[in-house]
Amino acid sequence: MNEAQAAALRKPGRPRDEELQDTIIHAALETFVEEGLDAASVEGIASRAGVGKATIYRRWHSKEDLISDAIFQCAESVAAPDTGSTRGDLIALMSKLQNDLSCSMGGQIFPRMVGEVWDRTPLGEAFAQAVISPRRQLIFEVLSRGAARGELREGFDAELIADTLSGAVIVRRMVAGPLDDKPADRVERLVDLVLEGLAGPVQ
């Protein structure tokens, strides 16, 4: 991407510095997705963004700082849904996860981040703490509410349930790709399968 192409991406009325930073962030994310952290370079990111290396180094000290910043800027804040039922809440959470892994920049980044988390790199540790853990906590929150309402049996293993639900969605994404042709009710069937073993006592 050259300077003219970068300029074409800018939205009217936005400060040029903010637009330029967005262009660099997007270039860093694309580079990370295609090459990974080790192979990525400031030179390559600068070339993709249509800027000089000095422009990047005025904002970030290293490629690690830039790519880390880019990843966490594209991570959305999350909140637990409250549909009134454990089933509805879990379907909403898992549908969001499935959609994010299939259709968002975060989903494109995720396969690269698996290796970073697995290797316990600084980037992987930060990603696990800032992105993965909060989303697991949402499942725990939903399950806790369900237990309080008497919808779930006592003594269930929340960690195992969280792993089962999110793991099924993540593994499917890693094995089969974005899955544009995935069954529309796949998440519902997954949640129902798990909830069969969690049903509370009949009232």
Q: 24 with 55: CB under 8 angstroms?
A: yes
Distance separating alpha carbons of residues 105 and 74, to the nearest angstrom:
7
**Interatomic CA distance for residues 83 and 150, integer angstroms:** 16
Do residue 115 and residue 157 come from a single domain? Answer: yes
DSSP 65-93: HHHHHHHHHHSPP------SSHHHHHHHH
Indicate the pLDDT class of residue 103, thresholds 50, 70 and 90.
confident
pTM here?
A: 0.79
Pair of tokens at residue 79: 């909140």
Q: Is 69 exposed, middle or buried (0-12, 13-18, 19+ CB in 10 A)?
A: middle
Given pLDDT bands bounded at 50, 70 and 90, which one contains residue 162? very high
Looking at the fold, whether 101 and 139 belong to one and the same domain comes out as yes
Distances from the Cα of 191 to the Cα of 69, 165, 174, angstroms: 34, 7, 20
Do 148 and 191 lie in a common domain?
A: yes
* Residue 133 located in a structural domain: yes
Helix (H) or strand (E) holding 60: none
Q: What is the 3-state secondary structure (H, E, C) of 144-198?
A: HHHHHCCCECCCCCHHHHHHHHHHHHHHHHHHHCCCCCCCCCHHHHHHHHHHCCC
- What pLDDT shows up at residue 154? 85
CA angle 145, 89, 157 (to 5 degrees): 55
- Residue 187 counted as domain residue: yes
CATH number at residue 115: 1.10.357.10
Provide the domain limits for residue 8: 3-73
pLDDT in tens, 167-193: 999 988 888 765 555 667 889 999 999
Output the pLDDT for position 185.
Answer: 87
What is the predicted pLDDT for the residue at 177? Answer: 64
Tokens 């180094």 belong to which residue? 57
Same domain for 183 and 84:
yes
